[in-house]
Structure 1
Amino acid sequence: MTEPVHRAAPHLPELELQRLSVHFGSVAALSRVSVTLPAGEITCVLGENGSGKSTLVSVLSGLRPHDEGQLLLSGEPVRFRSPRQARAAGIATVWQDLAVAPLLSIWRNFFLGAEPTRGVGPLRRLDVEKARETTVRAMARVGVTHLDPDQPASTLQAGARQSLAIARAMHFGARALIVDEPTAPLTVNQQTLLLQAIVAARTQGLAVLLVTNNPRYAHLVGDRFLLLAHGSVAGLLTRDDVDAADLMRLMAGGEEFNALTEALTALHSELGDR
């Protein structure tokens, strides 16, 4: 079985949101959000609790269809009604509370449901050696080395578990990667493993969206930064626009972020009066 690898042309909008809105009753969880997620770039999403980050992840991963606007995949409108549809379209999501089958080996978790086989007909059987070798190579590609693929997945530290999911997405040809940063605190080494895997996905040409509350880590890997406030875009910045200290001030609720939020609220009020 050859390894499916997707390499998109760099800097093309693999995913694009055009005035996308999601409503829960009368509450707008997302309101007219427009942003492009180019292939080969990392877009970091930052914002306070309730800013719309989780809803954005839900839409992209197929958990919640959008109500208004458009979601484009390589220029074609899509509307996901289930996570299976999103995965089939090439969008892989790494969740905050990533679950693995702890008693199964690392390689079995990597290939769960898609195990390589050899032989035909009644002689067809699981190709364990190929599965082990492929798992080790794929994990090394995202920075996890000296791995025993037969170890239970429960032996992986937190950052390596997310790396396993990212390596799997890359191996099986994902076009876009959505990473919902773990809520549990990670050590520096664990965070380094996760960021290495995210950078590896960018290098392979995936469009990466990283949801994080850590502006310092965001600036280390991010190419652009989407700031959300009250479900709307409060800012869309690039590395040329801000440094790590700027992002930290924005996330700390400094004057710049307050000004963005006030301007955004005023704009929505004007639009609503029309």
Structure 2
Amino acid sequence: MPDGAMTDTVAQLRRDLAAAYRLIAHYGMDDSIYTHISARMPDGPDGEKRFLLNPYGLRFDEVTASNLVTIDETGAVVDDPYGAGVNAAGFTIHSAVHMARHDAVCVLHTHTVAGVAVSSIKEGLLPLNQWSAQFYDRIAFHDYEGIALNLAERERIVADLGDKFVMLLRNHGTLLLGRSVAEALKLALNLERSCKAQVAALGMGLTPVVLPHEVAEHTAKQYARAYDKDAETGRADPEWDAFLRQLDKVAPGYKD
């Protein structure tokens, strides 16, 4: 890739990743200074693997394109404009996924109340509606092992994830992969409202109507075809563009 094209690609990736942080904050899905969204950068000049991660200590609504930290596959800091390094636990999960899943440009992890609640029940996410049907039989599970500081856990996370793009970290939260930052962000928002809807439906104390297998699977495939078409053609994504216009109004500083 020519140097100019590489520079443009990295600049766009930084803007997209910063936008994802701001959108997660805007929708109330952040957790103080914890959890992370990472993005795979183009390989370095000698083939080294490089990733972008948020600076440790900043809230998601403080992340900008220019203060994102560049790290390598070992967790070593390559470039740190803010000067605070990164969270070791965040690197453990994200590095495991990126190094095993080269189709994942972006990895997004949350600790929302609804996501943690659904991850904490044996049944996980139920196909109760059109939103949750998107994820029918497409969610991986990883049992909780404590705060993710043990590098040995990486192999188990990867094994449990397999080829799926969505994982419920039992008793912990959610993990989403995207072939782009936009895809990961949309999956995260869709999963969050699916979890909220399930918590609300089951909280009514009435009998939930679970979609039959055939309908849930059909709906999941409809979603998958649309996402695959976006990934394969690289066509403009009107939903992502709408999110960016929203940020231009409420948090334009993300581009800085």
The structure where helix makes up a greater share of residues is 2
Task: Tell me which structure has the larger Cα radius of gyration.
Answer: 1
Give the structure, 1 or 2, with the largest relative contact order (CA under 8 Å, sep 6 or more).
1
If the length of structure 1 is used for normalisation, what is the TM-score?
0.28
